Amino acid sequence: MKKMRKYLFFTLFLIIGFIANLNAQSDLEINKVFEQYGKKKGSVLVEMSREMLKDYNFTYYKSIVTTNNKEVADFTRRCLTVDEKGAKKVKQVVSNGVVTSIYLQLPPKDNYYRLILFNETTSPEQKMTLIYIESEIDSEEILNFILKRK
């Protein structure tokens, strides 16, 4: 009985941990990119939540930049093919049959508008940028907001 109770509490705490880390991005395939490559050498991972994004009209921001790592870019492209289902493509650039740039407006989830921005450049060096943004304002407004800030 004691063992059973231990397992019960352990399971409950696992559930709590899972819930605590849950956000709208969790269900996306690109989450794997952040998880697998975010903390590796050559990567720059940034995660910002509401308290730091007050001035930016975002509620959540996560990005990863990798340099000279084609493997990550290819993996990200595969993830994007899954996430683009049901999403609106704002922009897509295909170079030599390979997607080098894609901006996706995802269907809103839990009242949050979601946007994925992906870009890969090859010169002067290979660099992949993947950004995920959640906002209470429309994705188009987010894009305009980013444009204004550049």
Partner 1 sequence: MKILKRNIISLQEVEKLIERYYEGETSVAEENLLREYLSGKNVPAQFETEKAIFGYFESEKERQTVRLVPRALKWVASAAAIAVVVFISVWLLNQPVETSYAYVDGKKITDKNEIITLAQTTIGNLVPELDEVEKGLENIQSGQVIENQLDVFAGVDF
Q: Which residues bind partner 1 (CB under 8 A)?
A: 5, 8-9, 12-13, 15-16, 19-23, 38-52, 59-61, 63, 65, 90-91, 93, 101, 103, 117, 119, 121, 127, 129, 131, 143, 146-147, 149-150
Count CB atoms within 10 A of the CB of residue 138: 13
Give the residue with the Cβ less far from partner 1, 78 or 91. Answer: 91
Please give the single-letter amino acid code of residue 64: I
Name the nearest CA neighbour of 83 among 24, 126, 137.
24
Give the residue with the Cβ less far from partner 1, 29 or 38. Answer: 38
Residue whose token pair is 């995802």? 106
Alpha-carbon span 133 to 53, nearest angstrom: 11
What minimum distance in Å lies between the beta carbon of 83 and partner 1?
17
Give the residue with the Cβ less far from partner 1, 79 or 116. Answer: 116
